[in-house]
Amino acid sequence: MAARLIESLATTEPLADLFSDQSVLQAMLDFESALARAEARVGVIPQSAANAIRKAAKAETFDIANLAVATLRAGTPGIALAKALTEKVRTMDADAACYVHWGATSQDVADTALVLLLKRAEPMLSGDLVRLTRALKKLSQDHRQTVMLGRTLMQPAPPITFGLKAAGWAASVQRSKANLDSAFAAALLLQLGGASGTLASLGKKGVDVARVLASELKLVFPEAPWHTQREALATLMCACGVLTGSLGKIARDISLLMQAEIAEVAEPGGNGRGGSSTMPHKRNPIGCTLTLAAAQRVPGLVACFLSAMVQEHERGVGGWQAEWPTVGSIIQATGLAVASMVEVAEGLTVNASRMRSNIEATNGAIFAERVTMMLGAKLGRDVAHKILQGALKKSTKQKRHLSEVLAKIPEIANHLDRTALRRLESPEQYLGSAEVFRKALLSPKPKTIKKKEQ
């Protein structure tokens, strides 16, 4: 990974390498080389010219710093690249130099290079998402009977299982991955349109060249060039936004459960992970922190991409020029979030005894709903609710178990004895359909949408 301190908390090493200067430059050169090969195969340019262009298209032989300066002056990387590549080819074969970038426009280079980078990024994200889903499913299965507090509005609520919570996390990741896979499939499109998106410069062979070029680069051949039609990329960016939001939700839950006052789970630590520069006792939720940082940044970046979709006529002014850094940042932030949560999920420590003790610390207050429902049929729901409110106030004030307070209330004692009241406070007996929902989340059935008959 290149030494980029300011971006060290915004990407992973593989993605940093993918979006490095040399990798981006090579993607552009791969387009130019493949274009020349496709044109030679169709008979538009000599094979000797394609051979010379292919030999010259090596990123390590270019001065990237000079290219960056020239790109800023030109307003697009394609112009600077075409000039530099032409000069490189000229030193090898003067006759071949005139065929560099033949019939293409600068946006063709930029868009296709970006798509090639996305094509390489897809398996990186997909592989980590598979690992994350597997780890979350294992947590769910291992802790399907581990009871814990449900929490609503950050306050104790009736019990759930940690297995159900982890299943919810896993299902959200699975849904987001399905959306991401679909978005990638739709976005990996060749861009070759020439000056106005008609390939007029290639005459009647334009479409043939484009088809062969798509095959060379293993990209989808689109119906037509998409210079100012950016919805495929926008959909992919939105899918990254939704995925990162789902990961942020998991990270938020885990970081809250890691608080010392809660102490129900813990991220893996060691090797400089999770420590403090001043407080040796701390075990910080670093994986969650990185994921939450990504979840903070990505929505704004997605909004930036969406706002850049409003592009003028056949070539945008500023819209697509805004996309390269935006897309690069979104993909890298998403990849970091996924990789961070993989590390967290695969090494997460679950403290089942602490989960139970936190339930017990409520003195049975979280089972007030259960008592209310049981007595409601006998006393009326409103009456039962009022009795429970009074009992809860007394339980809290006197720091006594709710069942003890309820046992001394005549209206309740007439229907539930002390033993029955104690049984009401067993978390395992008040889980409802938690296990049914857990299994359903881990084995989702494909949804079919039926059209209404007219």
pLDDT tens sequence across 129-138: 999 999 999 9
Q: Known catalytic residues?
A: 276, 315
Query: pLDDT value at position 310?
Result: 97
- pTM to 2 decimal places: 0.93
Q: Which architecture characterizes domain 123-141+162-189+226-350 according to CATH?
A: Up-down Bundle (1.20)
* Secondary structure E strands in 307-435: 349-350
pLDDT at site 277: 44
> Rounded distance, CA 429 to CA 444, Å?
26
- Under 8 Å between Cβ of 364 and 158: no
Per-residue model confidence (pLDDT) at position 50: 98
| Statement: 362-435 belongs to CATH 1.10.40.30 | yes
Q: Which contacts of 201-205 are long-range, i.e. CB under 8 A and separated by 24 or more positions?
A: 201/102, 201/103, 202/39, 202/44, 202/103, 205/42, 205/43, 205/44
Annotated domain spans of the chain: 10-104+193-223, 123-141+162-189+226-350, 362-435
pLDDT for res 424: 83
CATH 1.10.275.10 fits 10-104+193-223, yes or no: yes
Q: For 59-62, which contacts have Cβ atoms below 8 Å and span 24 or more sequence positions? A: 59/22, 59/23, 59/25, 59/26, 59/29, 60/22, 61/88, 62/25, 62/88
237 in Cβ contact with 302 (< 8 Å): yes
Only one residue has tokens 């979030």, namely 337
For residues 25 and 77, what is the distance between their CA atoms, to the nearest angstrom? Answer: 9
Q: Exposed, middle or buried by CB within 10 Å (0-12, 13-18, 19+), for 356?
A: middle
Block residue for tokens 């306050």: 155
454 residues of the chain, pLDDT tens digit each: 455 788 889 999 999 999 999 999 999 999 999 999 999 999 999 999 999 999 999 999 999 999 999 999 999 999 999 999 999 999 999 999 999 999 999 999 999 999 999 999 999 999 999 999 999 999 999 999 999 999 999 999 999 999 999 999 999 999 999 999 999 999 999 999 999 999 999 999 999 999 999 999 999 999 999 999 999 999 999 999 999 999 999 999 999 999 999 999 999 976 656 554 444 445 789 999 999 999 999 999 999 999 999 999 999 999 999 999 999 999 999 999 999 999 999 999 999 999 999 999 999 999 999 988 888 877 888 888 899 999 999 999 999 999 889 888 888 878 877 777 778 889 999 999 999 999 999 997 766 555 555 4
Residue 444 makes CB contacts below 8 A (sequence gap 6+) with 171, 174, 175
The two beta strands, 147-152 and 155-161, are: antiparallel
Distance from the Cα of residue 315 to its chain's centroid: 30
Q: What is the pLDDT of residue 393?
A: 94
Which token pair is 313?
Answer: 């006529």
Q: Which of 244, 362, 360 is nearest to 295 (CA)?
A: 244
Do residues 19 and 2 lie in contact, with contact meaning Cβ atoms separated by under 8 Å?
no
One fold for 123-141+162-189+226-350 and 362-435: no
For 43-157, where are the alpha helices, taking DSSP H only? 47-56, 64-74, 77-90, 106-142
